[in-house]
Structure 1
Amino acid sequence: MMCGGPSATRPATAEMQDIADQVKSQLEEKENQKFPVFQAVSYKSQVVAGTNFFIKVDVGDEKCVHLRVFRSLPNENKPLTLHAYQTNKAKHDELTYF
């Protein structure tokens, strides 16, 4: 991994599912739809002035969304933020920086 670059893709953990769950409502509001299925599949992380998490989430019907979630430094005491997302992704689509 290069300094400041994203990590290798790893299988989703309980922590990544929790992070995805915390920003689910932000995505639903932006997309104006509900996601009955919302299962984290894999992720990458990137250390910046905080941490970016790139999370592939299965939303059912063979579709995925890619989320970029920002977690600020602990001393800033800010909530997780959905910074960007990509819809209409397939399970085989690579999780890349966006």
Structure 2
Amino acid sequence: MANIVHVECRVVREDVDEEIQRICDKVKGPVEEFTGKTYEVYKAVKYRSHPPLGNGNFLIKVFVGVEDYIHLSVHEVRTLVLGMPRPIEMLQGVEQRRTKDDPLVSFVNTFKWSSSTATE
């Protein structure tokens, strides 16, 4: 029987770009709802991704002030609306009280939100 080798396809990046910040900004309201806090500072600083078939799963470390960070789990689906690409972000979870040095690892909690159901 052949050996099966699983290769982890996740990529850790520190070079957060405008696209990752846009994803964070899109889910900021639901994140504040989940945590019960309002963030004046909300800046993506690192992320980890696993892009399956044009969609993406993201773990994102967000600086929220002083020495406080949160981790976000976001799934993004690319759809076509009238022939134009339209991403739909789905917030899967939030981890609070993280530090600059905490690793980005997969986690599960019960918060679910989708930009497709939000009013714009």
Q: TM class by shorter-chain length? A: 0.7 to 0.9
CA distance in 2, matches of 1:30, 1:15: 23
Matched, 1:96 2:100: no
Aligned-partner residue type, residue 85 of structure 1: V
Q: What CA distance in whole angstroms lies between the structure 1 residues aligned with 2:87 and 2:21?
A: 19
Which one of the candidate residues 2, 7, 10 is aligned to 1:2? 7
The one of 71, 88, 96 aligned to 1:79: 88
TM-score, normalised to structure 1, is 0.85
2:73 paired with 1:68? yes
Distance 1:84 1:2 in 2: 25
- Poorly superposed stretches of 4+, deviation over 2 Å: 8-11, 47-50, 73-79
Which of 44, 51, 69 is equivalent to 2:48?
Answer: 44
List aligned pairs for 1:10-25, cutoff 5 A.
Answer: 10-25=14-29
What percentage of residue pairs aligned between the two structures are identical? Answer: 30
Return the index of the structure with the highest Cα Rg: 2
Provide the secondary structure at the position in 2 that maps to 1:97: coil
Higher relative helix content: 1
Q: What residue ranges of structure 1 are gaps of 5+ in the alignment?
A: none
TM-score using structure 2 length: 0.71
Alpha-carbon separation, structure 2, partners of 1:56 and 1:78 = 20
Higher RCO (Cα < 8 Å, 6 or more apart) = 1
May I ask how many residue pairs the two structures share in their alignment?
Answer: 97
